Homo-oligomer: A and B are copies of this chain.
Amino acid sequence: MTRQTDTQGDLSKDRLRVWLRMLKVTRRIEAELRERMRQEWDTTLPRFDVMSALHRNGEGMKMSDLSGVLRVSNGNVTGIVDRLVADGLVERRSVEGDRRAMRVVLTEKGRVLFDDMAGVHERWVDELLSPIGAQGLATVYSRLGRIAETTGEDS
């Protein structure tokens, strides 16, 4: 229980403070983005995330690819894709050569909608993070990068 020095304990408390602030800021921005998406397009952040991943992969992605990239459970992706399919924004196609797998692709309607959303989304983020200038962006990006490296593996 005895710590080696006072500064060691202070550092731990500082990390806790940073973590709590990071959590708070992230949640607030997420809440703001969620609300705007709801108002603007009657959609949600998870749906946007799925569409974004599919947009980056024009040929479509398997369900397991989606849950891997987005880091959410398989079962969760099933539900989100179900709803996107119901809205005609996404299609499930069978994978030739493997009858287990499904390839999920943006429909034309989905592509058009996402092109619209992506631009507006970038402007919203720019607005919400506007208190951070070029200098701060670089610093925060690099510090967070160190955590990203150690916490998980890839990307």
Which residues of A pack against B, CB within 8 Å?
1-2, 6, 11-19, 21-32, 71, 122-123, 125-126, 128-134, 136-152
Interface of A: prevailing SS:
helix
Partner of A134, one of B2, B140, B148: B2
A145 to B21, Cβ gap below 8 A? yes
Report the Cα distance A12→B126, complex, angstroms.
5
Residue of B nearest to A15 (CB): B129
B134 to A6, Cβ gap below 8 A? yes
B28 to A26, Cβ gap below 8 A? no
Q: Which residues of B contact A29 (CB under 8 A)?
A: 19, 147, 151
Q: Which residues of B contact A152 (CB under 8 A)?
A: 28
